Amino acid sequence: MTDATAKLRIADKDHELSTVPSTIGDVGLDIGALRSDTGFVTFDPGYANTASTESNITYIDGGNGTLWHRGYKIEDLAENCGFLEVAYLLLFGELPDQDALDAWRAKVRQHTLLNEELKRFFDAFPRSAHPMAILSSATNAISTFYEAYYNPKDPDAVRESATRLIAKMPTVAAWAYKKSIGQPYIYPRNDLSYVENFLHMMFALPVEDSPVDKVVAQALNVLLILHADHGQNCSTATVRFVGSSQANLFASVAAGMNALWGPLHGGANQEVVEMLHAIHVDPDMTVEKAVSRAKDKNDPYRLMGFGHRIYRNYDPRAKILKRFADDVLGTVSRDDPLLEIANHLEKVALEDDYFVSRKLYPNVDFYSGLIFRALGFPTRMFTVLFAIGRLPGWIANWMEMHEHGDNKIARPRQIYTGEALRDFVPIAER
């Protein structure tokens, strides 16, 4: 839709608002001059109805459960691509040909090592540290070695920083895990693929040969692709927000990681498995009780992995993962009683009017945790895996913001509801 205009009537006066067209999907109302023209600002808590940017990276149709990256369906990308291929698509706008892909893989491979001095940084955390805290701290710490690459307006420096982040994140994640179990850090092996190398650093030991399981690597490849980008979600919006102050890419991405960690966002994958586990082990807890607690407005309990701000239909990533969960669990020969509980919980919830009327469906986190678990990852690493997957999306959005010349610092207004002006009271009279 193009060229439409809208009129807003405030106190008998019409104000014309121009529209911001889209290729497909939501069209924007440009309210940029609203405050200066009318004295009003818009009020939209949680930005549920606000487009903060134009973007040509990812399209989501929440009503139909559709997700495209750069015009390609997520289903096609998950079935046919490697994770680095999708990362290339997100970052540079097109799928690479074979030469470009080989060159990109080689470039990433060059940067997988961490500076040796960073090892001491890992040593300083307690064994019990949550790996998401280590991941975001290490991302900031890595930036201290690359201060010459901070300038967001220097495309070569940005490209180099982007490559470094994507290359080093599996090393950081694996070392955070090794730290937590008291095993020696395993160095990257550049003869392996991106995903294989990560699995090697996670699970190998220096004392024995431990070849990477190809089935596990293929499954993890798909999972990372399914997490690669998702429009202006909480963590991506955070990355853009922080980047809008012209903070460097490392600092912006570290902030996005912290946003992702929350249980209502990427932290939900850990919460889902803990919820299913509680149903499994607690004799007083059943699927039916969980659903009933989730519906009780006086109980903060929610069905983790259910509901989504954008999807009012089955999340297409969850659809792929539901099928995949059966395949993966079958292939790696691991029966998981939690999968049966998950299937039962989904069935009960999707037949319940509370969930049906609110259009609450399983989201990507509902089945991903079960697959991560089947692949041998500990629960506390799940959100870290999400972060490795989402990294290209964060970076692509940050780059797009700077490339498109979105030079405005992000700075929302507020509706002040505090005290009106009052006289200062000296401390002795309070």
15 is catalytic: no
69 is catalytic: no
Residues between 37 and 76 that touch ligand ACO (CB under 6 A): 46
Q: Does 308 bind ligand ACO (CB under 6 A)?
A: yes
Pick the closest to residue 137 from 261, 267, 264, 270 (CA basis). Answer: 261
- Interface with ligand ACO by CB under 6 A: which range of 153-161, 305-313, 333-341, 400-408? 305-313
Calculate the CA 405 to chain-centre distance: 24
Q: Which residues contact 343 (CB under 8 A, 6 or more apart)?
A: none
- In Å, how far are 275, 380, 409 from 135, measured between CA atoms? 24, 12, 26
- Interface with ligand ACO by CB under 6 A: which range of 10-18, 54-62, 170-178, 300-308? 300-308
The answer to whether the CB of 187 falls within 8 A of the CB of 114 is no
Q: Does 322 bind ligand ACO (CB under 6 A)?
A: no
The b/e string for 282-308 (b: 16+ C-beta within 10 A; e otherwise) is eeeeebeebbeebbeeeeeebbbbbbb
In the chain, count H helices and then E strands: 18, 6
Q: What is the CA radius of gyration of the chain?
A: 23
- Interface with ligand ACO by CB under 6 A: which range of 116-124, 156-164, 275-283, 356-364? 356-364
Q: Does 177 bind ligand ACO (CB under 6 A)?
A: no
Neighbouring-strand partners of residue 66: 61
Q: Does 309 bind ligand ACO (CB under 6 A)?
A: yes
- Which of 200, 308, 336, 402 is catalytic? The answer is 308
Question: Which of 194, 355 has the CB closer to ligand ACO?
Answer: 355
Instruction: Choose which of 135, 360, 374, 385 interacts with ligand ACO (CB under 6 A).
Output: 360
Q: Which amino acid is at 176?
A: A
Instruction: Choose which of 172, 242, 275, 303 interacts with ligand ACO (CB under 6 A).
Output: 303
Pick the closest to residue 223 from 318, 108, 85 (CA basis). Answer: 318
Instruction: Choose which of 264, 278, 356, 409 interacts with ligand ACO (CB under 6 A).
Output: 264
58-61 and 66-69: which strand pairing?
Answer: antiparallel
- Interface with ligand ACO by CB under 6 A: which range of 93-101, 106-114, 243-251, 259-267? 259-267
The residue whose Cβ lies closest to ligand ACO is: 307
- Find where tokens 């990477």 sit: 212
Residue ranges that bind ligand ACO, judged by CB under 6 A: 46, 264-266, 268, 294, 302-309, 358, 360, 363-365
Give catalytic residue positions.
308, 365
